[in-house]
Chains A and B, each alone.
Chain A
Amino acid sequence: MFYRLSGVHHANYVSDSRIFKVPADRNLAVFVLLFGLAAPFIVPSLYLNSYMLPWLIWTAAALGLNLVTGWAGQLHLGYAAVMAVGAYASIHAARFGIPWEFALIIGGLASSVIGSLFAFAALRVKGLYLALTTLAMQFVMDWVLTHSPAITGGSHASLQSPTLALLGQDITSDTGYYYVAFGWCVLVTIFMLNLKRTGLGRALVAVREKDFAAAILGVNSFYYKILAFATSSFIAGVSGALLVATFFFLAAPEQFSVAVSIQVLAMVIVGGLGSIIGSYMGVALILLVPGIVNGLVSGSSQSLGMQINVETLAHIPNAVYGALIVIILLIEPLGLGKLYGNIRDYLMVWPFDQLRK
């Protein structure tokens, strides 16, 4: 009923490897895309610039991490460090006078190079050892940033980003920033959607499932792991640069600290490894829910006229938020993406499937 499957036949490989095999999915995607395009005109500016914009940029970043962790199966605890490389490289490039289009690409490439350099060293080990090696990368990056004023911009360690300008157009309005973030997120999403259908995507999945089995099948697992790291680092670099250019307006090392790395990993895990829609949901949960719950709690305590200590008031949302993550992962260990998938599967041939039981 919700997903009309009648008349949907896949008689050849091309049709079977479509991105959206069911028209309803495509329609939903188109609807979301249109909503995203129209958002600046229908969403109040507060929600646009302090909720939706960071959400989209972080989603792009989380999708990049999902590529290396969800698809290629390599645990990465230094993702924020890679974002920092991109952010600082692009801002320095832009400050140097290079147009932003190229500055962003330079940032992405710089991240790619440093990210894969680390991967070279890191890929001699697997699993938890890889996690620790990437964590070490994060600490190395933190140290380099706090000890090189030339990179981070003087003793205050804050580097201003020049005004963003794309295609000869200065971008200074909330709407402009939003569209930049939206465009980048859509680009990354399209890339990830297509990844599933390509040889690269299948090779990555093979490597994830069992790297030596993949090697027996003729998939060079080392090469594909490096490729996964390089690609995800590129996405991280550009996302980091855009985060600074459209949201923070200046880069500081704390914006890319180890806590942020863990946060991005949490976004990917709560959202669901290897799930695209899950990444969107995971980012929303980790990034936005603390603020929203905080607003709700302080609002309700105010309207109820309760005299709660400010400190207690600040800790209640944290407890609620923590409990929310635990509950979600208990209900569905595969994350929010799978939760959505379950609902979709349930409704797929509703109500006929249910009648049979």
Chain B
Amino acid sequence: MTLKKHITAVALTTALAATATVASAQSEEPIQFGLCFDLSKSYTFVTPQVAQAAQDLAMYVNDNGGIEGHPIEIIVRDHGNEPQRGVECYEQLKRDGVFIFNFMSTPVTNAVLPRAMNDENILMQSFVGRGDAVDGEVFEWVFPVGPTYWQQAANDVAFIKEQLDGDLSDAKIGFIYLDYPFGQEPIEILRTLSEREGFELELYPVPLPGSDQSGAWSSIRRDQPDYVISWLLASGHVVASKEMRRNRFPIDRYIAVNWFNEVDIANIGAEEATGILRGTNVAGGQEVPLVRLMLDTYYADGNGSGPESLVRDVYYNTGLAMYSTAFEAARIAVAEDGWPLTPESMKNAYESLSGFDGDGVMAPVTVTPEDHGGGGKTRIEQWDGEAWVPLTDWSADYLDIVWEVIKESSESFSVE
């Protein structure tokens, strides 16, 4: 009798334990984010920082109970900026159950876009890929939260207008750009704006990779534009700063695109770069609450996901901006629609983000089913020799013109 009781008790406990394990396993099912990045070729100036930011932020969320109890899993893979390997990474992670992807490369994002749209998986593509993807009515599954290059250029023009006392009618704006799609993208919007505002637009194409700009800057010296907007990448800004000095162009009239970080400043020389301007949607520096939090929680005792030097870089803040938005969306999705998280609930949650700014790490974004970009706000910051000082508040201007261009471009896209 006692033996029988004993066996029953053991069996019961086992059964209970088994149920408990199942229950806990269910609540611990992770939320997976696929990061197929170019960590070995062209985009290495930004991807390590973004990946590290994503890992740090995920670690912080997991240490604080995860998203409604579910831990976040960050899966990082290299695709070497080759579209074929990007597709391979997508197909592989898709089969592992990942449905939130980020490729951080324009060629790869373009190659994967038709598949992601077809499979109805979430594609994060801030700053890369086609700009018209902010049109949420066409690109339902693509979330390029942040400004398009069109919007950013328009905001730059709005800033110049403000500096020139609200009148651009006899202003001259130069546009120096890398002569391939990345650099050519804002031209159309600048032309439209020049017609509306009456300023003179001068174009200065620079051949890839942007190390030879002498011809362009000679023309700039001749034309004497009031401001120069620059769509160059990384070292292109360093070359430009040398040319500005050679051609006596004031460096505080140079507005760089958002791809301009601390490494480039160091290469120009912190002192030398004083006065240079940058358009951005992400707050730079380490005094941003989220960055401070990461530094204090993990890096103070050497527990970060990577070297601390990468944290002291605006692209780390960019990574925090992208992933704080994504995690917030995931949190809303699980809170509203419950577990399991699906692409559908994630999409709805993204589209319900309102005035979210990641505790000051970026411009507040309000994502809607129509506008997946979140409003496209940016600001102009100036380097004062030690840090970036914001000159304006977060704002987005000329929305009508920008959206006209977006609509015109997106209507030619259709999923087959």
Q: Chain A interface (Cβ within 8 Å of chain B)? A: 46, 49-51, 54, 146-147, 153-158, 160-163, 247-250, 252-255, 287, 290-291, 294-295, 298, 309-311, 313-315, 317-318
* CA gap between A309 and B49 in the complex, in Å: 11
In order of increasing CB-CB distance, the 4 nearest A-B pairs are: A314-B39, A314-B78, A254-B107, A249-B114
- Which of B85, B88, B106 has the most C-beta atoms of chain A within 10 angstroms of its own C-beta? B88
Interface size on B, residues (CB 8 A): 46
A291 touches B114 (CB 8 A): no
A249 touches B409 (CB 8 A): no
A156 touches B48 (CB 8 A): no
A288 nearest CB across to chain B (Å): 9
Name the A residues within 8 Å of B51 (CB-CB): 310
A164 nearest CB across to chain B (Å): 9
Name the B residues within 8 Å of A311 (CB-CB): 39-40, 44, 48
B110 touches A250 (CB 8 A): yes
A291 touches B91 (CB 8 A): no
A290 touches B416 (CB 8 A): no
Contact of A287 among B55, B84, B110, B113 (CB under 8 A): B84
A54 touches B84 (CB 8 A): yes
Name the A residues within 8 Å of B39 (CB-CB): 310-311, 313-315
* CA gap between A173 and B180 in the complex, in Å: 34
Name the B residues within 8 Å of A310 (CB-CB): 37, 39, 48, 51-52, 55, 76, 78, 306
Name the A residues within 8 Å of B76 (CB-CB): 310, 313
**With contact pairs A158-B130, A311-B39 given, residues A290 and B110 touching in the complex (Cβ less than 8 Å):** no
A318 touches B40 (CB 8 A): yes
* CA gap between A294 and B83 in the complex, in Å: 15
Contact of B40 among A46, A157, A314 (CB under 8 A): A314
CB closest residue in chain B, given A164? B416
Name the A residues within 8 Å of B416 (CB-CB): 160-163, 249
Contact with A along B38-51 (1 / 0, CB 8 A): 01100010001001
Name the A residues within 8 Å of B337 (CB-CB): none
Q: Chain B interface (Cβ within 8 Å of chain A)? A: 37, 39-40, 44, 48, 51-52, 55, 76-78, 80, 82-85, 87-89, 91-92, 95, 106-107, 110-111, 113-115, 130-132, 179-181, 184-185, 187-188, 306-307, 409, 412-414, 416
Known: A54-B84, A158-B110, A290-B85. 17 other contacts (CB 8 A): A50-B91, A154-B412, A155-B131, A155-B187, A155-B409, A158-B130, A160-B114, A160-B413, A247-B84, A250-B113, A253-B181, A294-B77, A309-B48, A309-B307, A311-B48, A313-B76, A314-B40
Determine the main DSSP class of B at the interface with A.
Answer: helix
CB closest residue in chain A, given B38? A314
A53 nearest CB across to chain B (Å): 10
B333 nearest CB across to chain A (Å): 26
CB closest residue in chain A, given B35? A310
Name the A residues within 8 Å of B111 (CB-CB): 248, 250, 252, 255
Contact of A250 among B88, B106, B114, B181 (CB under 8 A): B114
**With contact pairs A146-B184, A160-B416, A254-B107 given, residues A290 and B80 touching in the complex (Cβ less than 8 Å):** yes
Name the B residues within 8 Å of A51 (CB-CB): 88
A324 nearest CB across to chain B (Å): 15
* CA gap between A158 and B84 in the complex, in Å: 16
Name the A residues within 8 Å of B78 (CB-CB): 294, 310, 313-314, 317
B132 nearest CB across to chain A (Å): 7
Name the A residues within 8 Å of B107 (CB-CB): 252, 254-255
A157 touches B181 (CB 8 A): yes
B40 touches A315 (CB 8 A): yes
CB closest residue in chain B, given A156? B130
CB closest residue in chain B, given A257? B107
**With contact pairs A46-B95, A255-B107 given, residues A153 and B48 touching in the complex (Cβ less than 8 Å):** no
Name the A residues within 8 Å of B132 (CB-CB): 156
Name the A residues within 8 Å of B113 (CB-CB): 250
